[in-house]
């Protein structure tokens, strides 16, 4: 039996919990960090400590993110996202945990998606806690920076775009309309913890799954890798579809190095409807 045939049989048994990473969104034009589209590409992600402790760091982040947001907002679900949504519709996928912040699972029609690292489509005030749509902030930043224009040479999965420092210095940042507090994208920065209730829910899902299916993640970051380890400890089979080796391969019953879109589309075609 081929690895794909084995994967199809495992998924057909149902109870699948999907754990997706940036590799699932590369076919939508969003590069990943460590897979084929991100390999050898330097990245210096913003840390929570830098963001909250430095006005200059916040200016740098919002200027780059204001530019990168246009790229994220234009991205559309690819066949991989649509296949996952279809497997959920067929009752084979019981839960989706995503490390991605691009909202593409939901746009493809998936429901009840746990956004492990949050979403770029929301902004949160660090003082009053109010959450507002990113589109509203985008309009405010555009109004505060009339005539500001730049071209991104690179956009990361978190919407951070590479930008010349000369274009950052004069960028105006806006604060919370309600209380004047600092605004932050509703995503988990490096140095910031995923809320414990969210982590606990993911642990519960991974230990009760019929199959933990990892899609497009190298599992280099502990926040996703821990659920693979947890599933393996509870004798839950793990299958990984990714382009390239992953940190979790030793825990997997099946690994498949293949493009996500074609593989998942073919997987849906094998499932009973």
Could you tell me the CATH number of the domain that includes residue 132?
3.30.1600.10
C-alpha closest to that of 71 among 24, 19, 25, 118:
25
Q: Are 206 and 9 within 8 A, CB to CB?
A: no
Q: Are 116 and 202 within 8 A, CB to CB?
A: yes
Q: Number of folded domains in the chain? A: 2
Would the annotation count 128 as a binding residue? yes
Structure tokens at 213: 């299916």
Would the annotation count 243 as a binding residue? yes
Beta pairing partners, 19:
97, 214
Residue 15: inside a domain = yes
Residue 258: inside a domain = yes
Task: Identify the active-site residue in 81, 117, 230, 251.
Answer: 117
Cα 19 from Cα 103, distance rounded (Å): 14
Q: Are 98 and 114 within 8 A, CB to CB?
A: yes
Would the annotation count 266 as a binding residue? no
Last residue of a domain, one of 158, 187, 216: 187
Known active-site residue 81 = no
Q: Is the dihedral of CA 99, 101, 107, 113 positive or negative?
A: positive
Q: Residues 127, 227: one domain?
A: no
C-alpha closest to that of 19 among 156, 158, 113:
113
Cα 234 from Cα 210, distance rounded (Å): 11
Cα 89 from Cα 52, distance rounded (Å): 41
pTM exceeds 0.75 for this model: yes
pLDDT 10s digit of each residue in the chain, 273 long? 899 999 999 999 999 999 999 999 999 998 876 554 334 444 567 899 999 999 999 999 999 999 889 889 999 999 999 999 999 999 999 999 999 999 999 999 999 999 999 999 999 999 999 999 999 999 999 999 998 877 666 777 777 777 777 788 889 999 999 999 999 999 999 889 999 999 999 999 999 999 999 999 999 989 999 999 999 999 999 999 999 999 999 999 999 999 999 999 999 999 876
Residue 83: inside a domain = yes
Cα 84 from Cα 154, distance rounded (Å): 28
Q: What sections of 48-126 are H helices per DSSP?
A: 48-53, 55-74, 79-89, 104-107
Q: Residues 64, 151: one domain?
A: yes
Strand, coil or helix: 138: helix
Q: Residues 181, 123: one domain?
A: yes
Q: Residues 16, 47: one domain?
A: no
pLDDT for residue 111: 96
pLDDT for residue 153: 62
pLDDT for residue 152: 63
Strand, coil or helix: 223: helix
Phi-psi region of 216 (alpha: psi -120 to 50; beta: other; left: phi over 0): left
Would the annotation count 159 as a binding residue? no
Structure tokens at 38: 């991100």
Structure tokens at 181: 């507090």
In terms of residue numbers, what domain contains 176?
43-74+118-187
pLDDT for residue 34: 53
């Amino acid at each position: 039996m081929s690895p794909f045939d084995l994967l199809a049989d495992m998924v057909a048994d149902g109870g699948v919990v999907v754990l997706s990473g940036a590799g699932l969104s590369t076919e939508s034009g969003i590069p990943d960090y460590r897979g084929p589209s991100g390999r050898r590409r330097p990245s210096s992600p913003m840390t929570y400590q830098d963001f909250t402790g430095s006005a200059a760091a916040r200016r740098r982040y919002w200027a780059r993110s204001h530019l990168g947001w246009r790229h994220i907002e234009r991205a559309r679900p690819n066949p991989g996202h649509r296949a996952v949504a279809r497997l959920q519709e067929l009752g084979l996928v019981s839960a989706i945990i995503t490390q991605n912040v691009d909202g593409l699972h939901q746009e493809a029609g998936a429901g009840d998606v746990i956004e492990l690292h949050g979403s770029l489509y929301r902004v949160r005030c660090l003082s009053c806690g109010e959450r507002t749509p990113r589109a509203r902030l985008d309009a405010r930043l555009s109004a505060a920076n009339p005539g500001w224009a730049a071209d991104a040479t690179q956009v990361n999965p978190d919407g951070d775009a590479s930008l010349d420092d000369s274009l950052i210095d004069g960028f105006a940042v806006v604060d919370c309309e309600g209380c004047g507090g600092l605004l932050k994208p509703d995503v988990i920065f490096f140095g910031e913890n995923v809320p414990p209730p969210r982590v606990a829910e993911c642990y519960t899902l991974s230990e009760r799954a019929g199959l933990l299916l990892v899609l497009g993640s190298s599992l280099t970051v502990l926040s996703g890798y821990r659920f693979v380890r947890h599933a393996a400890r509870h004798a839950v089979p793990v299958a990984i579809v990714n382009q390239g080796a992953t940190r979790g391969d030793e825990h997997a019953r099946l690994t498949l190095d293949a493009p996500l879109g074609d593989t998942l589309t073919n997987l849906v075609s094998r499932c009973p409807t």
